[in-house]
Amino acid sequence: MTILLIGSAAPLALAAPDDGITPKSMFLDLGGAESDEIAARVDRICAEHRDPANDSYIMNVVLVGVVDLRGDLRIDQLLAVLPHVPGGGQAKCFDNVFIGPAQLDVTNMPWKSRTDFPTGLEPWCADSPYCGGILTPSWRWDNIEATRDSAEIFLAFVDFHFPKVRSNLNWYVTYEGYFDWFGGNLYSERVQSAYSAFLFEMVKVFNRALEHAGEPAPTSSRAVLWSPAYESSYFSYSQGELNNIRDNLRYMFQNVQTMAAGEGIAHGVDWLDMQDKLGQTDCFSVECYSGVKRWYDFLSSVNFEQFSFASLRVNMELFSTNQPAPDLNEHMARQNFYESNGIPVGASWELRFWDLPTA
């Protein structure tokens, strides 16, 4: 067996990371494997990927699927990982941990049955959780409440089993989005407004969950990471549409930060790992890599005087939808392109696509 581990976020000093030698980090879906498999992979990271001088060094982990679809903690999987995060008590395999508590199941588009589902939406919007879903207030709030519940039971579990972990954890917003839908279509302004409200409430949920667990308010604000994707090629938009997307993103991220500050919360959503979407499209060529670069450069322009990302990186999709297995050679070619073009690689999706048989 060999592990190819690609991508990272920087150490959580809550400042712009050093994008020199690329350290690695990963997403870990606790619902994607049994606990013994997760434990074996984490043990391998501890044994083989903890030398900061080596380019295979692993730093951070983003845990998603912390609860199952019933809202119950995945206890066995958590017990396989949490001893190895900061404060976990055993050999430290990760420098920082982000927790993505919950997202409601989107199978069969349940928002469409809500009484407050907007009428008259075009099908492409109505059927998407990133348009029709986010525009349905009761669906947004149910996701917020599910996150509140799962964050609180997770923290109770952590405080009982690993009491030193709480002071080291950070948060991940599991509900994704298409950031290019913030401009260039009929619903852009409404989508921006809905996500602005949703992300602000998520920041509040995370902060209040820590306070409820006994964290003093001055220290309860943590880094919040989000990993949206793009729906369409950069080259499909006019300059006017791109300007509109940029302005709406600027407004949203600044607005979330400003509203959070009004609640005494130091951080909004200012860690962003943009999905490169290449695993979904299986478009593996320099031309496709260049399209990702254009989107990354575009997101860099969202920074302005009133708001800037503390960390802005690209989340490599390591799966492949049309091939029998992920292509490790392609992963390396993509990473090399990103590195040579100054694109820092963020936490990438996902551990089970890194750990593959040797050819």
**pLDDT for residue 20:** 36
CA 13 – CA 34 distance, rounded (Å): 32
- Residue 125's pLDDT band (boundaries 50, 70, 90)? very high
Res 12 pLDDT > 90: no
Coil, helix or strand for 59? strand
Percent of the chain past pLDDT 70, that is, above it, reads 92
CA-derived radius of gyration, the chain: 20
CA 131 – CA 75 distance, rounded (Å): 33
Region 8-15: what's the mean pLDDT? 32
CA 128 to chain CA centroid, Å, is: 19
What number of other Cβ atoms are within 10 A of residue 354's Cβ?
22
CA 8 – CA 98 distance, rounded (Å): 12
Q: Which domains does the chain have, with CATH numbers?
A: 2-8+19-356 (3.20.20)
Q: Which residues make beta-bridge pairs with 170?
A: 98
Long-range CB contact pairs, 334-337, < 8 A, 24+: 334/276, 334/278, 334/284, 334/289, 335/6, 335/7, 335/22, 337/286, 337/289
- Residue 326's pLDDT band (boundaries 50, 70, 90)? confident
CA 246 – CA 226 distance, rounded (Å): 17
Region 192-218: what's the mean pLDDT? 95
DSSP one-letter code for 118:
P
**pLDDT for residue 21:** 41
Q: How far is CA 293 from CA 217, 242, 288, in A?
A: 39, 15, 9
- Residue 322's pLDDT band (boundaries 50, 70, 90)? confident
**pLDDT for residue 355:** 58
- At residue 325's C-alpha, the angle toward residues 323 and 331, to 5°, is 95
Tokens (6 digits) for 225: 């990471």
- Residue 22's pLDDT band (boundaries 50, 70, 90)? low
**pLDDT for residue 329:** 85
User: Looking at per-residue confidence, does 121 or 221 come out higher?
Assistant: 121
CA dihedral 320→131→97→315, nearest 10 degrees, is: 40
Is pTM, for the whole model, over 0.85?
yes
CA 2 – CA 51 distance, rounded (Å): 17
**pLDDT for residue 9:** 34
Tokens (6 digits) for 91: 């050999």
What number of other Cβ atoms are within 10 A of residue 239's Cβ?
7
Coil, helix or strand for 291? helix
The closest of 146, 124, 161, 120 to 198, measured between CA atoms, is 146
